[in-house]
Amino acid sequence: MKSPGQAIFFSLALLVGAAGCNIETTPSDQDADAGGDDTGRQVALTDGFYAERYGVGASWYDYDSQTHALTPRPFVYRVTSAQTDVAFRVVSYYDEEGTSGFFTLQTRPLDASTIVEFEIGDSVKEAPVCVDLETPAVVDCAEAHHVVLRTDLRVVPAAGFAVQDPWIYASTHFTSASPLTVQRAEGDSLEVLPDAWTRLPDAKSRRADSLLAGRLAALADGESSDVLVQATADMQLAAWSVTRVGDAELSFAASCEELATSEDAQTLPDVGGARRASIAVDADGASYVDLCAESGPTVVSRASEPAGALRMDVDSYDLIVERFDGQVSLRLPPGHLLWSTGRTDVAGTPDVPASLWE
């Protein structure tokens, strides 16, 4: 990714931890809280751990623990914008030989009855695959497209590693002139399309859909957020907070420790010993921050481009900070989990919610 001079500059200092491993195909509950209106429904982070919602994400399949097979769930999806209105469904995640990573999709324009089924010959395990749903066809990711099919890691604390899930993303960002909206309805066919659809929240397409939406805007100069606890895709537990310093700087305090495989073995990172660092947010751009790198906090990449679906793997950073249109926003990468202690300090060391290991 580019790293222009006007990109956001980061300087962080945090404690460190160990890395995890990854496998493929385990159950996904990403859509457990999917839903919301056009402003994006917000969850109560003090209730337990939640993942950022990224549209379809990994919620399109059911997992068979006996065969380890992924089977498409009975859903149809609708992708709309000022120029687009097309439905699609996932037919399969396997090629004719039974090799995983090869999607077969069906598509249908909303204003027509023509249904097209096409097999994608490129494996999402090798690289992201960009799809024009109207043609339909796989296209170069530098060209216009509607969805991105790719794998991303998802933290599974009880297992002790992160799993490699196949995800489906809309190729849109909140800076887009005409952002795509992804909706979902029950159904296993495109022959008869449903009358009612539910919009799937997407943290990268709408700022208001992010778990962290509104936190910065609510902070007065010198005021700190609640202490947030994050389970990362590289198997760390990070406790952090953010303080607004004027209009062009954020101050972070954070500490990390290795993520345990059970509630009994886990302690909250030492927030009292957290290190602080300042971040300048006076220029447009996106920065990816690894909170728990071995050598200390590391800015993995800075870019003028928005943090869309074609970004780096989620185990290489823990937080996305973006400034566009004069607004600064924070969000989690896919596959990470976040909980709020509900306090600006953690005196008394609250217990980490057991839901993290469920």
Residue 206's SS3 state is: coil
Q: Is 163 in contact with 145 (CB distance < 8 Å)?
A: no
Q: What is the model's pLDDT at position 43?
A: 66
Q: Which two tokens stand for residue 254?
A: 């954070």
160 CB-side CA count, 13 A: 3
Q: What is the model's pLDDT at position 313?
A: 86
Burial class of 103 by CB neighbour count within 10 A (0 to 12, 13 to 18, 19+) = buried
For 3, phi then psi, to 5°, come to: -135, 65
Condensed to tens digits (0 to 9), the pLDDT of residues 183-239 reads 999 999 999 999 999 999 999 999 999 999 888 888 999 999 999 999 999 999 999
- Give, in degrees to the nearest 5, the angle at Cα 142 between 318 and 162: 30
- In the chain, the amino acid numbered 188 is D
Q: Average per-residue pLDDT in the chain?
A: 86
Q: What is the model's pLDDT at position 275?
A: 78
| Alpha carbon separation from 340 to 12, 31, 211, 226, 296 (Å, rounded) | 21, 20, 10, 7, 24
Q: Which residues have a Cβ under 8 Å from the Cβ of 86 and sit 6 or more positions away? A: 78, 79, 80, 107, 108, 109, 110, 133, 134, 146
Higher-confidence residue of 29 and 113: namely 113
Q: What is the model's pLDDT at position 202?
A: 97
Please, which residues bridge with residue 228 across strands?
Answer: 240, 340
Answer yes or no: is pLDDT of 25 > 80.
no
Alpha helices in the chain (DSSP H): none
Higher-confidence residue of 248 and 58: namely 58
Confidence of residue 41 (pLDDT cuts 50, 70, 90): very low
The reported pTM is 0.86
Domain layout of the chain by residue ranges: 9-21+209-357, 54-202
Confidence of residue 289 (pLDDT cuts 50, 70, 90): confident
Condensed to tens digits (0 to 9), the pLDDT of residues 244-286 reads 988 888 888 889 999 999 999 998 888 877 878 778 888 899 9
For 187-295, strand residue ranges (E) read 198-199, 228-231, 236-245, 249-258, 275-280, 285-290
Higher-confidence residue of 312 and 174: namely 174
Q: Which residues have a Cβ under 8 Å from the Cβ of 71 and sit 6 or more positions away? A: 61, 62, 64
Q: What is the model's pLDDT at position 270?
A: 84
Distance CA 318, CA 228 (A): 13
Average pLDDT, integer, range 325-350: 89
Closest CA to 174 of 201, 134, 140: 201
Distance CA 299, CA 7 (A): 12
Distance CA 107, CA 74 (A): 15
Q: What is the model's pLDDT at position 31?
A: 42
Q: What is the model's pLDDT at position 88?
A: 99
Average pLDDT, integer, range 45-66: 94
Q: What is the model's pLDDT at position 322?
A: 93
Q: What is the model's pLDDT at position 221?
A: 94
Closest CA to 182 of 169, 167, 200: 200
Condensed to tens digits (0 to 9), the pLDDT of residues 43-54 reads 689 999 999 999
Q: Is 152 in contact with 165 (CB distance < 8 Å)?
A: yes
Q: What is the model's pLDDT at position 137?
A: 97
Q: Which two tokens stand for residue 189?
A: 């066919």
Q: What is the model's pLDDT at position 295?
A: 63
Distance CA 186, CA 208 (A): 25
Condensed to tens digits (0 to 9), the pLDDT of residues 123-177 reads 999 999 999 999 999 999 999 999 999 999 999 999 999 999 999 999 999 999 9
Q: Is 234 in contact with 315 (CB distance < 8 Å)?
A: yes
Residue 273's SS3 state is: helix
